[in-house]
Chain A
C-alpha cells in the first residue's frame, strides 16, 4: 500500500505566480488534511477535506488560497499570486476515519523568489 504521495517535492515560483500542490491520499483514505510548516516551527492546520467537500478551512488564509478534493484525482492546494511569505513546506496528511492517526506525505517545499 503506497503512502501519501505529494508532488512536486520542490516548487520555485516568482512573486505573483500561481502554485499548485497535489496530494494523493493513501488507498482507502477519504479524509485529507493540509498543513503548513515554517522553518523551525510546528505544523499549522490549514484545511480538512473529504471527497468533494471542504469540511473545515479555518486555518487557511481567506485570500489567494483554495483547496479541493475532487471525486476523481488528487487533492489540490492552490495559492494564487504567491508572495515571499508563502515560502514554506506544505504537508498533506490522510486518514481512514476521524480521530485516527494521520499519515503524512513527504511534503512540497515552496520557495517564492
Chain B
C-alpha cells in the first residue's frame, strides 16, 4: 500500500545543535504537511508544502519539498529544549485531497 517512511525514529541532541528529519513517500504526493506532537499531547499543524522544490522557513525551522514531490525534510537550527517532541510528516497522495498518510515520526529529545 501507499507508505510514508520517516527517519530517524529517534534523535537526541545537545541544545544548540541542529536537527533534521527526513520523509520519503512510495508515491507522488499532491502536498505534504508537518505536525509536531508533544509527549502526551496531540498533533499540531506546522506547515503545508504544495509545490515541487518548495522551501519554507519558520524562524529556526526550514521545510523542503523534493523536486519529484516524493520526499521532504524538516531542519531545525540551534535546537532549544522547547523543540522537544515528535515531528510527523503527513502526505496527501495524488488523486486524494484529504487522506493524510502519516510517517511514524521522529522523536526529538534535547539535552540542556
Show the binding face of A for B, using Cβ within 8 Å.
31, 33, 35, 40-45, 48, 55-56, 91, 95, 98-99, 101-107
Contacts and interface: CB of A to CB of B under 8 A. Distances in A.
A43 B33 contact: no
27 contacts: A33-B98, A41-B104, A41-B105, A42-B4, A42-B88, A42-B102, A42-B105, A43-B90, A43-B100, A43-B102, A44-B102, A45-B99, A48-B99, A55-B98, A56-B98, A91-B43, A98-B97, A98-B98, A99-B30, A99-B31, A99-B97, A101-B33, A102-B45, A104-B43, A104-B44, A106-B42, A107-B42
Size category of the binding interface on chain B: 20 to 34
A11 to B, nearest CB: 16
User: From DSSP, what is the main secondary structure of chain A's interface residues?
Assistant: strand
Interface in B66-112: 88, 90, 92, 97-105, 107
Contact of A101 (B45, B102, B105): B45
B48 interface: yes
B100 A102 contact: yes
Interface string B1-13: 0001010000000
B52 to A, nearest CB: 17
Contacts of A91: 42-43
B42 A104 contact: yes
Interface of B: 4, 6, 30-31, 33, 35, 41-45, 48, 88, 90, 92, 97-105, 107
B108 to A, nearest CB: 14
A33 B99 CA distance: 9
Nearest to A41: B104
Contacts of A33: 98, 100
Contact of A43 (B30, B88, B92): B88
Contact of A42 (B30, B31, B41, B103): B103
Nearest to B10: A40
